[in-house]
Amino acid sequence: MADHPASTRIRTAVVGTGGIVTGAHLPAIAAHLDELELVAAVDIDQDRLDAFHTTATAIDGIGPVTGHTDLATMLETERPQLVLLGTPPSLHHQQARAALTAGAWVWAEKPLCLTLAEFDDITAAEGPAGTGPYAAVVAQHRYGSGTTHARRLLTTGELGTPRVAHCQTTWYRNTDYYAVDWRGRWATEGGGPTMGHGIHQTDLLLHLLGDWTEIRALAGRLVHDIESEDVSTALVRFAGGTIATVVNSVLSPHEVSRIRIDCDDATVELTHLYGHTNNDWTYTPRPGIDDTRVTNWRTNPDDTPSSHAAQLAGIIHAYRTGTRPPGSGPDARRTIEFNAALYKAAFTGRPVHAGDITPDDPYYTAMHGNHPDWAPATTEEQQ
Ligand SMILES: NC(=O)c1ccc[n+]([C@@H]2O[C@H](COP(=O)([O-])OP(=O)(O)OC[C@H]3O[C@@H](n4cnc5c(N)ncnc54)[C@H](O)[C@@H]3O)[C@@H](O)[C@H]2O)c1
């Protein structure tokens, strides 16, 4: 409680007290209790709300947390300044809008929303530049010292020009996983591993390499009886000239999350599963590189793991300074646009360029783009 007395701590609420809020948001809040005061929790399921209350209030420094089963009531009675959303994906759009309209900043779980149209509608509800409120998306793999270090080496040219990259999310999900009603459906999850799983790695790839310009892709529904894909692959060209491959799968018994970037002077690789530390990053020099340079690449003075807590520090800083937070605005839109373009390229069999998907494009309002092989057959099925 060092820096701020209770009265100046940021009044924080969580919405959806399930797996991710209890397992990741709560520890992140607990790591920032000098800045945050957890005042309220919302869930439509009273049992989950009660379980969350028990877990939260057992943490030293977290006082009573008022439980609510209705978001609008919570916003009106608790007047939170920061709202963390951990509800199923289809709810994020309207819940983010409601919180922004009530004057609260929003940090929503991935995906922030299901379409580019929803994304633009959320940002339209943000406050003015310089004050906010703003809406940001959880992208915890972008944070932590390993990413910061690698990005600095890449963007300063220390590793030479990035030429070839691989981005791999090869995970395994069984039929029980898809028994949860909101999963595997366009209207509720927004897509398959492209939107729900690989989004962490592709977002990190874009964070490291910058703007993408062109995508060609394939998608398949190979194993699971779901509406969306269970595997997608893409070929991507970046503005800086790098050519990359992307694989998003939930069919892969040997699970791994991987990024590899071959630059003129070195290959940088990240290999992990659900989060990384410095040790998960390696740097391999090309022959002839001076030892001192290699030692500097491999020496990272800080060791902060990627985590919700690491990103939340940036959200708090942005709130305190009234600046756009990391993981919001054009930066977050680029990742959603990447996914929309990947689906469009896969389903139409044609390359898609950045900026192609405008509001009159069917892939602007639905990731399936109303494609007859991929969109639910009737409007009723989309509910
Ligand atoms: N960042 C990550 O690494 C990561 C990992 C897992 C899940 N997620 C994301 O977190 C979100 C939630 O996933 P989860 O696995 O925690 O799901 P979950 O089902 O465990 O939790 C969702 C909770 O939301 C509640 N809820 C449903 N409708 C609600 C409403 N209208 N108002 C308030 N609460 C409501 C449910 O009762 C449930 O408690 C998803 O967007 C998912 O993609 C992110």
Pseudo-torsion of CA 93, 95, 100, 104, nearest 10°? -140
Pairing of strands 231-238, 243-249: antiparallel
Residue 113 Cβ contacting ligand 1 at under 6 Å = no
Q: Output the pTM of the full model.
A: 0.95
CA of 43 to the centre of ligand 1 (A): 10
Return the residue whose CA atom lies nearest to atom 39 of ligand 1.
18
CA of 116 to the centre of ligand 1 (A): 21
Q: Which positions ≥6 away from 267 have C-beta within 8 Å?
A: 260, 261, 283, 284
Contact 177, 211 (CB under 8 A): no
CATH of 6-140+310-325, one of 3.40.50.720, 3.30.70.1150, 3.40.50.300, 3.40.605.10: 3.40.50.720
Pairing of strands 162-172, 36-42: unpaired
**Ligand 1, residues 45, 87, 195: which to mutate, most atoms within 8 A of Cβ?**
87
Residue 15 Cβ contacting ligand 1 at under 6 Å = yes
| Residue located via tokens 């919001």 | 328
Q: Which positions ≥6 away from 98 have C-beta within 8 Å?
A: 71, 72, 75
Contact 138, 108 (CB under 8 A): yes
Pairing of strands 266-272, 212-220: unpaired
CA distance 286 to 194: 33
CA of 87 to the centre of ligand 1 (A): 4
Domain ranges, ordered by start, for the chain: 6-140+310-325, 145-304+335-365
pLDDT per residue rounded down to tens, the chain (383 residues): 344 555 699 999 999 999 999 999 999 999 999 999 999 999 999 999 999 999 999 999 998 999 999 999 999 999 999 999 999 999 999 999 999 999 999 999 999 999 999 999 999 999 999 899 999 999 999 999 999 999 999 999 999 999 999 999 999 999 999 999 889 999 999 999 999 999 999 999 999 999 999 999 999 999 999 999 999 999 999 999 999 999 999 999 999 999 999 999 999 999 999 999 999 999 999 999 999 999 999 998 889 999 999 999 999 999 999 999 989 999 999 999 999 999 999 999 999 999 999 999 999 999 999 999 999 986 554 44
CA of 336 to the centre of ligand 1 (A): 19
CA of 88 to the centre of ligand 1 (A): 4
- CATH topology agreement for domains 6-140+310-325 and 145-304+335-365: no
| Residue located via tokens 């607990």 | 30
Contact 219, 347 (CB under 8 A): yes
Q: Which CATH architecture has domain 145-304+335-365?
A: 2-Layer Sandwich (3.30)
Q: Which positions ≥6 away from 54 have C-beta within 8 Å?
A: none
CA of 172 to the centre of ligand 1 (A): 19
**Ligand 1, residues 17, 20, 75, 307: which to mutate, most atoms within 8 A of Cβ?**
20
